[in-house]
């Protein structure tokens, strides 16, 4: 059998060079593989919409010729909401599937686990969803970047308005893991600085996805707060809202609640959605910015459904990676990608976003407003978009908390 090496050796020199160029061109046309790790079984209501957003952006990039002639390919795996499983599938994606970049993740404990894997294995990881500050601060590393605004950023957005409320006795409730712990710590620190007269009268720490809402509501009621900072979400939030409403916890009590205005969490409450909670969220059907409306039309045409916050985050994450790959000319070398991501500017339906070089945090903002019910459905009123660059952690905080690993 004649081998390729034998054939090439018998060619004239110019023909051999042409064959080499042809081979190089063929390799350059191989797809750029992006490994998506997410809690598809544990948090389907969130992650499936994030995947839709990612796929829409990839389809649009590929329809425009890809990156230097190379198409993007998304390979998704379920982490089952377990850090150990996330590491296993990360290893599978990198070693068996040959992915060039890791992304996705929703829960903060998953994001922190994958960030550690990325640092150890020197692979670029864009944490699209996890909010714990440690992702880019205490556990930050050269290979990890984050898109969504962190717990510190969203706490600062909420505290800006919360501090104007005269309530003095505050209680908190949050899931007992990285995201909840850091959200409470950030909110308390910012609020105490803005309002030294505040008294913190109680903290409740239910286990994630295992809240005993009745017991938590009774404990909060016993503290007699004027205001509550809530960090529960998903099914835990629904149980807390219903139990607290039935027991009168929210009567004459000012509630500030992280993420509650996002469709993933407020839509299932329907007409039981609370009235007047100060929240971060996503009023998808009320935003009138032309670039956003254009994107909304494309999304609804593609999926015959309305977007959730995961949709816009998933879409923007692929725009970020596409812009970084454009800077490298399609080169997927991790070191070149890291340098392309640091300080990267890229266009999104929310305008131009940037990854800050000092902590790899993006400048994506959030919508802040108050919950209400319209036509039997929870939504947001009196909302505005809070630009992320205004609420980034101070550089001195980054210097103090982030390891010098870049």
Domain contains 274? yes
Task: Please state the three-class secondary structure of the chain as a single string.
Answer: CCCHHHHHHCCCHHHHHHHHHHHHHHHHCCCEEEEEEECCCCCHHHHHHHHHHHHHHHHHHHHCCCECCECEEEEEEECCCCHHHHHHHHHHHHHCCCCCEEEECCCHHHHHHHHHHHHHHCCEEEECCCCCHHHCCCCCCCCEEECCCCHHHHHHHHHHHHCCCCCCEEEEECCCCHHHHHHHHHHHHHHHHHCCCCEEEEEECCCCCCCCHHHHHHHHHHHCCCEEEECCCHHHHHHHHHHHHHCCCCCCCEEEEEEEECHHHHHHHHHHCCCCCEEEECCCCCCCCHHHHHHHHHHHHHHCCCCCHHHHHHHHHHHHHHHHHHHCCCCCCHHHHHHHHCCCEEEECCEEEEECCCCCEECCCEEEEEEEEECCEEEEEEEEEECHHHCCCCHHHHHHHCCCCC
Domain contains 67? yes
Q: pLDDT higher for 1 or 69?
A: 69
Residue 304's domain comprises 32-149+288-364
Per mean pLDDT, which range of 6-15, 80-89, 314-323 is the poorest? 6-15
Q: What is the distance between the alpha carbons of residues 123 and 35, in angstroms, rounded to a whole number?
A: 11
The two structure tokens encoding residue 287: 């935003």
Picking from 329, 346, 364, the residue at the C-terminal end of a domain is 364
% of the chain residues with pLDDT over 70: 93
Q: pLDDT higher for 17 or 358?
A: 358
What's the average model confidence in pLDDT over 33-44? 94
> Which pLDDT belongs to residue 11?
37
pLDDT > 80? residue 28: no
Domain contains 198? yes
Residue-wise pLDDT for 375-405, tens only, equals 999 999 999 999 999 999 999 999 999 997 6
Q: Does 141 share its domain with 158?
A: no
Q: Which residues contact 305 (CB under 8 A, 6 or more apart)?
A: 52
Q: Does 57 share its domain with 95?
A: yes
> Which pLDDT belongs to residue 406?
67
What's the average model confidence in pLDDT over 16-21? 38
Q: Does 127 share its domain with 160?
A: no
- CATH at 36: 3.40.50.2300
Residue 282's nearest CA partner among 242, 312, 256 is 312
What is the average pLDDT score of the chain?
93
Split into its structural domains, the chain has a count of: 2
Q: Does 277 share its domain with 165?
A: yes
At 103, phi and psi to the nearest 5? Answer: -155, -170
Domain contains 264? yes
Q: Does 304 share its domain with 275?
A: no
> Which pLDDT belongs to residue 20?
37
Q: What is the distance between the alpha carbons of residues 117 and 321, in angstroms, rounded to a whole number?
A: 19
Residue-wise pLDDT for 115-162, tens only, equals 999 999 999 999 999 999 999 999 999 999 999 999 999 999 999 999
Q: Does 372 share its domain with 249?
A: yes
Domain contains 317? yes
pLDDT > 80? residue 15: no
What's the average model confidence in pLDDT over 91-95? 98
Domain contains 26? no
Q: What is the distance between the alpha carbons of residues 403 and 338, in angstroms, rounded to a whole number?
A: 17
At 137, phi and psi to the nearest 5? Answer: -110, -95
C-alpha 60, offset from chain centre = 21
Q: Does 266 share its domain with 186?
A: yes
What's the average model confidence in pLDDT over 316-325? 98
The single residue listed with the structure tokens 């010729």 is: 65
Q: Does 162 share its domain with 253?
A: yes
Q: Does 325 share its domain with 224?
A: no
Domain contains 127? yes
Domain contains 248? yes
Give bridge partners of residue 257 from the DSSP assignment.
230, 279
Q: Does 100 share its domain with 214?
A: no
The single residue listed with the structure tokens 């007409």 is: 271
% of the chain residues with pLDDT over 90: 91
Q: Does 371 share its domain with 327?
A: no
Q: Does 98 share its domain with 245?
A: no
């Amino acid at each position: 059998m004649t081998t390729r090496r034998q054939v090439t050796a018998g060619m004239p020199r110019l023909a051999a060079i042409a064959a080499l160029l042809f081979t190089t061109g063929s390799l350059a046309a191989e797809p750029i593989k992006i490994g998506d790790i997410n809690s598809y079984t544990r948090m389907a209501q969130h992650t499936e919409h994030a995947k839709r957003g990612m796929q829409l952006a990839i389809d649009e990039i590929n329809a425009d010729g890809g990156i230097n002639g190379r198409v993007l390919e998304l390979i998704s795996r379920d982490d089952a909401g377990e850090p150990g499983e996330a590491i296993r599938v990360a290893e599978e994606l990198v070693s068996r599937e040959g992915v060039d970049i890791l992304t996705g993740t929703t829960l903060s404990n998953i994001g922190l686990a994958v960030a550690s894997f990325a640092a150890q294995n020197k692979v670029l990881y864009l944490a699209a969803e996890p909010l714990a500050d440690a992702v880019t601060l205490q556990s930050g590393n050269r290979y990890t970047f984050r898109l969504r605004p962190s717990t510190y950023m969203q706490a600062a957005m909420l505290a800006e308005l919360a501090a104007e409320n005269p309530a003095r006795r505050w209680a908190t409730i949050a899931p007992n893991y990285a995201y909840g712990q850091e959200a409470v710590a950030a909110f308390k620190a910012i609020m105490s600085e803005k309002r030294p007269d505040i008294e913190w009268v109680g903290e409740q720490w239910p286990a994630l996805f295992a809240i005993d809402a009745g017991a938590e509501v009774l404990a909060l009621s016993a503290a007699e707060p004027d205001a509550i900072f809530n960090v529960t979400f998903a099914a835990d939030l629904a149980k807390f809202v219903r139990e607290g409403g039935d027991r009168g916890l929210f009567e004459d009590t000012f509630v500030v609640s992280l993420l509650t205005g996002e469709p993933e969490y407020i839509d299932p409450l329907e007409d039981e959605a609370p009235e007047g909670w100060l929240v971060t969220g996503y009023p998808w059907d009320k935003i009138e910015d032309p670039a956003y409306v254009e994107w909304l039309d494309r999304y609804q045409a593609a999926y015959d459904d309305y977007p959730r916050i995961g949709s816009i985050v998933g879409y923007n994450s692929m725009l970020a990676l596409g812009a970084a790959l454009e800077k490298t000319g399609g080169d997927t070398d991790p070191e070149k990608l890291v340098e392309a991501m640091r300080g990267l500017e890229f266009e999104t339906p929310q305008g131009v976003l940037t990854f800050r070089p000092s902590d790899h945090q993006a400048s994506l903002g959030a919508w802040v407003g108050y919950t209400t019910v319209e036509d039997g459905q929870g939504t947001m009123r009196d909302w505005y978009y809070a630009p992320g660059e205004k609420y980034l952690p101070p550089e001195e905080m980054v210097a103090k908390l982030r390891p010098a690993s870049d």
